[in-house]
Structure 1
Amino acid sequence: MNTRTAPSRPGIKAFTLDVLNGSSLGVVLALIPAALTSQILGLFPGNHIASAITMMVTVVQSLLGVFAAMAVGHMLRLGTLDAACIALATFVASGALTTTKTGFALNGTGSILNIMLTTFISAGVVVLIHQHLGQLKMVVEPTLILIVGGGIGLMTLPAMTAVQTFVGQLVANATHLTPILMGIVLGIIFGILIVSPLSSVGIATAISLTGTGSGAANAGIVVTSFVLAWFGATVNPLGGTLAHFLGSPKIQMANMLRRPRLFIPVIMGSGLCGGAASWLGMSGTPFSAGFGFSGLIGPLTALQQSHGQLVGLRVLLAFVIIPVIVSVVLKWGFIDGWHLIATDDVRLPND
């Protein structure tokens, strides 16, 4: 068993960034399997192999808190036991585990905001005590971190869920605006949500965001992927660049929160593309609204849900051509022209 320990306690800034980066990685790990397979599996209804794969990729989404906690433990250079203790506490407080009349059930990814908070608290306790437990560490630490970190996380879960519900209500109000303005507002909101600690899929599902509102929201996420991937293409490895599309631009969450100026091009790009998607008549479902380009869920759903002439061309314009053009222009302006943003601002952490 790996029992390495951190050479020294990290400062609060470095500690916070490690928690944010680890949580972002956990989101990508949990969502990539479902994103890559959902459209393909839909072609085989009733097939037992497809059903088995669907079960697999659905269950792992509920383990988002475990993935995030283990990634945070790795980033903090904690031992396997320490990271596993953080994962225990985070999982029980994630909100993915619900109580039923017959026991317990897994239900979705849980509250990403509470996952991050619980991981932060639990990891903090581990960093403070893990070197002082001596030979009793294996016996004491799992129970202590589970009760303290998980207990506090369970107490904060209603509040964190209420925050997500409140944001969902704000998003729902935006659907009452005129179509183009609605597209701009929803594009911006979801462009911000996808790089925030909140779940874009959870909010879109909670308010049943459909139709052109879903298409606009999805376009905001798509262009956020393009913008951040294009901004960091020269400093990030190919896998990291592709992860913005195949996984989620949420991998940039730590960079976004550390450097708020990055939100400026994201807001500009998502507003433009959200409005364009609404003008082009792009539609979608609550599920596709929060996923963006990942697994081609957004574009393929728009192709199926949108009506009128030249649907394929309009989908290509809304989800590829316009986002690429916007990304190139924004990079030229913010990085090459005005030098307001550096490519290192979007550099992903090394594994």
Structure 2
Amino acid sequence: MHNTPSYRVRKFVVKVLNGTSLGIVITLIPSALVSQLLLLFAGNPVAAKVAFMTTLIQSTLPLVAGFAVGQIFKLSSIDSGSIALAMFVSSAVVTQAKDGMVIAGTGVILNILLIAVIATALVKLTENIFGHLKMLLQPLVVLIVAGGIGLATLDPLRQVQVFIGTTIAYATEFTPIVLGAVLGGTFAFLIVSPLSSVGIAMAINLTGIGSGAANAGIVVASFTLAAMGAQVNPIGGTLAHFIGSPKIQMANMLTKPKLFIPTTIGAMMMGVVATLFNIKGTPASAGFGFSGLIGPLTAFNLSDKSVSAVFSVLITFIVLPIILAFFLKWLFMTRFKLIRPDDLKLTLQ
């Protein structure tokens, strides 16, 4: 069974997913940890430098993910670097401008993931054929072939993300309760998928209670995944689910779809709660969830800042998500035994 072609392909894809997920977390967590804290030191030159560094490294996502994929496959530095280069040039992180090039954003993750698969497969096929010329030819061949394919697929996959965003935008026409449930569940799915939850929220201009519901859904999904995997993951990996991004579980989620059941149920419930509590957000804050405290702080800043508003934010973003996370863990792991701790084990190398 373990030697069948389908098993080898699945194992290969899972390793690529794990490496890409690790690259996402490595490059996004620093900013998530300090972004809101730095706002307290606006104008301070040291804070400005820290903000510059943590913002800039987000655009290195395809490079770091490429090296992470190479490390998981135990490839050489030349092979890993070749994968990283192909992923970088086809990620849309860099765009040409009249006077040079502009680096911004984290790129189109769907395309990054596709080229991670193609570039890694190409490296595995060619890692021994260049001999003493490997240092010269391997990076060039992988860059031109895999990177070229990536540039060709970039616009179509970007349009896929736009189409999905347009489809999700229809949810904003629902009644508030239904809107909260749909957006909560949808963004809980997006945050652990190859799609950008933040990018889609910005594309459809998701604001108000729709944004609040989306964030609430992401929060409970983050806590649920953290709770269910705490037994087999290190403390840092557990905290990374909600302090950083639950996208760290992307490989497990895509290869074990049953994991979407508890997160979707919890997210839809919290989306309704957020709507009832009139939790709001902005297009820029939707899609972050608990990460960097962006979701809860934005919700508080958009409220009347009364005691009841503080209570609503705490209930929506901390108290109920934690309670619901442990209830869902008990329900699906202890009561129904549908999910095992090893289903959420992270590959952190």
TM score, norm. by length of structure 2: 0.95
Write the distance in 2 (CA, Å) between the matches of 1:175 and 1:44: 36
The DSSP-based 3-state class of the residue aligned with 2:107 is: coil
After TM superposition, list the pairs within 5 Å mapping 1:21-32 onto structure 2: 21-32=18-29
Write the distance in 2 (CA, Å) between the matches of 1:73 and 1:181: 44
Equivalent in the alignment of 1:43: 40
Match status 1:336 vs 2:311: no
Which one of the candidate residues 254, 264, 267 is aligned to 1:267?
264
Deviation at 1:328, TM superposition (A): 1.5
Which one of the candidate residues 311, 325, 328 is aligned to 1:313?
311
Deviation at 1:231, TM superposition (A): 0.6
Which one of the candidate residues 55, 58, 68 is aligned to 1:58?
55
Equivalent in the alignment of 2:145: 148
Which one of the candidate residues 216, 219, 226 is aligned to 2:216?
219
- 1:139-163 C-alpha deviation (Å, 9 max, x unpaired): 1011111101110000000011011
Consecutive unaligned residues of structure 1, counting only runs of 5 or more, are 1-9
Match status 1:244 vs 2:241: yes
Deviation at 1:290, TM superposition (A): 1.0
In the alignment, is the contact (CA less than 8 A) between 1:65 and 1:91 conserved in 2? yes
The alignment of Structure 1 onto Structure 2 pairs a total of residues equal to 342
Write the distance in 2 (CA, Å) between the matches of 1:349 and 1:33: 20
Write the distance in 2 (CA, Å) between the matches of 1:242 and 1:66: 24
Write the distance in 1 (CA, Å) between the matches of 2:232 and 2:81: 32
Consecutive unaligned residues of structure 2, counting only runs of 5 or more, are 1-6
AA aligned opposite 2:283:
P
After TM superposition, list the pairs within 5 Å mapping 1:97-246 onto structure 2: 97-246=94-243
Deviation at 1:233, TM superposition (A): 1.0
Q: Structure 1 residues 339, 299: closer, same or farther in 2, change over 3 A?
A: same
Deviation at 1:308, TM superposition (A): 6.9
Equivalent in the alignment of 1:300: 297
Deviation at 1:39, TM superposition (A): 0.5
Deviation at 1:269, TM superposition (A): 0.5
The DSSP-based 3-state class of the residue aligned with 1:41 is: helix
Deviation at 1:11, TM superposition (A): 2.2
Equivalent in the alignment of 1:20: 17
Equivalent in the alignment of 2:279: 282
AA aligned opposite 2:107:
G
- 1:241-263 C-alpha deviation (Å, 9 max, x unpaired): 11101211111111111111111
Write the distance in 2 (CA, Å) between the matches of 1:40 and 1:242: 18
Equivalent in the alignment of 1:348: 346
In the alignment, is the contact (CA less than 8 A) between 2:218 and 2:287 conserved in 1? yes
Runs of 4 or more above 6 Å deviation = none
AA aligned opposite 1:69:
G
Match status 1:83 vs 2:113: no
Write the distance in 2 (CA, Å) between the matches of 1:328 and 1:35: 24
In the alignment, is the contact (CA less than 8 A) between 1:284 and 1:306 conserved in 2? no
RMSD: 1.2
In the alignment, is the contact (CA less than 8 A) between 1:216 and 1:278 conserved in 2? yes
Deviation at 1:350, TM superposition (A): 4.1
Equivalent in the alignment of 2:70: 73
Write the distance in 2 (CA, Å) between the matches of 1:285 and 1:350: 33
